[in-house]
């Protein structure tokens, strides 16, 4: 299988690069310079009509949207490596639920806060409401991690990487992650893994 990742450093494609390293999947990494508009070139839009990174191709067949790629990587490579739950298990249902929670439920508040920051009003009603909602959602995560060391139980998995990537970015832009010590300690462990040290 020939895997190609189209990415840009310090973007939403970076967690995909980290996952490929964590899973030890041979792949080619092609940089798309989003600062100069390479993502809007016709040949790239043919792979990803959104004109964004990441995009991944498997034997030439394209896939886009970071969450979809992460779930596919888990299913395709993670099960045999012990980093993703097997199909038709309760753990697989939890893995899909929590990864989607990070990208969709929590992610909506990340985008809300990012929009307030981009508008130069991070402390307006939208930014404040986003941080409040994040605080409540982080409480759910703190509760789960207070009962087990990793998202899926006793062992680290790709689920930790996926969720940790979203939580880590949210902390960077001002989410109240530090107010949740259990989650913060878990996040620091996730970020310390060698696979997370992707160079620009």
Burial grade of 15 (CB within 10 A; 0-12, 13-18, 19 or more): buried
The boundaries of every CATH 3.40.30.10 domain in the chain are: 3-78
pLDDT at 67: 97
Domain 3-78 part of CATH 3.50.50.60: no
pLDDT at 1: 83
Q: What are the residue ranges in the chain where pLDDT is below 70?
A: 199-200
- Residues with Cβ within 8 Å of 46's Cβ and at least 6 positions away in sequence, in order, are none
pLDDT at 199: 67
Do the Cβ atoms of 65 and 12 come closer than 8 Å?
no
Domain 90-196 part of CATH 1.10.600.10: no
pTM of the model: 0.94
The boundaries of every CATH 1.20.1050.10 domain in the chain are: 90-196
pLDDT at 198: 81
């Amino acid at each position: 299988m020939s895997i190609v990742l189209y990415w840009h450093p310090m973007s939403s494609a970076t967690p995909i690069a980290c996952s490929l390293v964590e899973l030890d999947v041979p792949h080619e990494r092609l940089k798309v310079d989003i600062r100069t508009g390479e993502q809007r070139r016709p040949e790239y839009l043919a792979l990803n009509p959104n004109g964004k990174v990441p995009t991944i191709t498997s034997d030439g067949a394209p896939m886009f949207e970071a969450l979809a790629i992460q779930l596919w990587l888990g299913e395709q490579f993670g099960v045999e490596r012990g980093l993703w739950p097997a199909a038709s298990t309760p753990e697989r249902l939890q893995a899909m639920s929590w990864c989607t929670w990070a990208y969709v439920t929590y992610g909506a508040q990340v985008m809300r806060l990012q929009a307030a920051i981009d508008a130069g009003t991070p402390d307006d009603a939208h930014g404040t409401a986003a941080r409040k909602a994040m605080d409540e959602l982080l409480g759910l995560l703190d509760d789960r991690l207070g009962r087990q060391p990793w998202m899926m139980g006793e062992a680290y998995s790709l689920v930790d990487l996926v969720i940790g990537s979203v939580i880590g970015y949210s902390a960077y832009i001002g989410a109240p992650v530090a107010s949740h010590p259990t989650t913060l300690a878990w996040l620091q462990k996730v970020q310390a893994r060698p696979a997370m040290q992707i160079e620009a």
